[in-house]
Structure 1
């Protein structure tokens, strides 16, 4: 998948990957389709950070979830 292309499909892929990596309990409530390509660069930055880490601390997970909430819609 070429994440350099700013598309809705790539946004949804990155959100799903982040949710999977975080093992979010509330993942079902956070639909990837609710994220706009208008926030692509921010989502890509978040994706790169999350996927690049082997483990995330509780505070990092909380920060990511908070940021996802800000970017939704």
Structure 2
């Protein structure tokens, strides 16, 4: 997938990948439709961090979930 294009489709892909990697129990609350394309760069940053790590600590998962929550609330 070409993530260089800022699109809702790419946001959906990244959010689903983040939820899968973080094994988020509250994944339903983290719907890609809650994010706007103008937040693309911030979502891409979170995606890149999550995908670059083999494993994430509990505190990292919590921090990333908080960041996604902050982005979702700004939409």
TM range (shorter): over 0.9
Moved over 4 A (4+): none
Q: What TM-score do the two structures reach when normalised by structure 1? A: 0.96
In structure 1, C-alpha distance between the alignment counterparts of 2:49 and 2:30, rounded to whole Å: 19
In structure 2, C-alpha distance between the alignment counterparts of 1:9 and 1:34, rounded to whole Å: 13
In structure 2, C-alpha distance between the alignment counterparts of 1:22 and 1:45, rounded to whole Å: 15
In structure 1, C-alpha distance between the alignment counterparts of 2:29 and 2:40, rounded to whole Å: 20
In structure 2, C-alpha distance between the alignment counterparts of 1:29 and 1:41, rounded to whole Å: 21
Task: Show the counterpart of 2:65.
Answer: 65
Tell me how far 1:7 sits from its aligned partner.
0.4
Q: What TM-score do the two structures reach when normalised by structure 2? A: 0.94
Once the two structures are superposed, what CA deviation does each residue of 1:25-46 show, in whole Å capped at 9, x if it has no partner?
1101211111111100000010
1:17 equivalenced with 2:6 (yes/no): no
Once the two structures are superposed, what CA deviation does each residue of 1:13-58 show, in whole Å capped at 9, x if it has no partner?
1011000000001101211111111100000010000011000000
